[in-house]
């Protein structure tokens, strides 16, 4: 079973438009089947989408909080017998294009926000059970504010940026390694 590309791009574009500078809000979109059919195949007739808002608070490890939330969503759907067919995560992050020595140092110290060229962007990564993957980003601050990169379809071998982290967790939600 395959979810149409236009439906997936619609979910990804929605995620890209949800962020405003300084929100520090992340969203996880999950499209799950209503259950399994008689042969153990996901029931394509009963797909349902849901959105999980992830708002890290306090001084804890944000990446760990996001990871625990993603894993918890997967456990919840598995307990209900609802296979996840597509999942996508948006994250608001700080970046410095062309990382320099100062940016590397500030990042290591947890103070990247002090770099003069730091920008806030929304990054989106999605994966589908059939192996397709997508990514995009939208600039929230800086000279490119409001610009959105076209949603990029990824197929085949993993890009180095997809290895580990939340991208790996999103892939696992849909049954990909």
Distance CA 164, CA 152 (A): 19
Going across the sheet that includes 119-128, the strands are: 48-54, 26-32, 84-95, 119-128, 133-139, 152-154
Asked if residues 89 and 65 have their Cβ atoms less than 8 Å apart, the reply is no
Predicted pLDDT at 44: 65
The whole model's pTM is what? 0.86
Predicted pLDDT at 140: 93
Distance CA 172, CA 161 (A): 16
The total of structural domains in the chain comes to: 1
Report the 10 Å Cβ neighbour count for 164: 10
In tens digits, what is the pLDDT along the chain, a chain of 177 residues? Answer: 678 888 899 999 999 998 888 877 889 999 998 767 777 677 666 788 899 988 877 666 778 888 899 999 999 999 998 889 999 999 988 888 887 888 888 888 888 888 988 999 999 999 999 899 999 999 999 899 999 998 999 988 888 888 878 899 999 999 898
Range of the domain at 107: 5-173
Predicted pLDDT at 103: 86
Predicted pLDDT at 23: 78
């Amino acid at each position: 079973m395959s979810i149409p590309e236009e439906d997936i791009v619609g979910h990804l574009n929605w995620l890209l438009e949800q962020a405003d500078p300084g929100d520090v809000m992340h969203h996880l979109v999950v499209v799950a089947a209503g259950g399994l059919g008689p042969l153990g195949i996901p029931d394509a007739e009963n797909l349902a989408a849901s959105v999980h808002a992830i708002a890290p608070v306090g001084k804890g490890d944000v990446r760990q909080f996001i990871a625990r939330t993603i894993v918890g969503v997967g456990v919840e759907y598995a307990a209900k017998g609802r296979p996840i067919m597509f999942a996508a995560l948006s994250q608001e992050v700080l970046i410095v294009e062309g990382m320099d020595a100062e940016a590397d140092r500030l990042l290591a110290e947890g103070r990247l926000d002090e770099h003069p060229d730091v920008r806030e962007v929304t990054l989106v990564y999605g994966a589908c059970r059939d192996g397709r993957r997508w990514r995009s980003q939208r600039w929230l601050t800086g000279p490119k504010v409001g610009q959105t990169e076209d949603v990029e379809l990824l197929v085949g071998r993993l890009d180095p940026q997809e290895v580990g982290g939340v991208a790996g967790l999103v892939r696992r939600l849909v049954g990909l390694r």
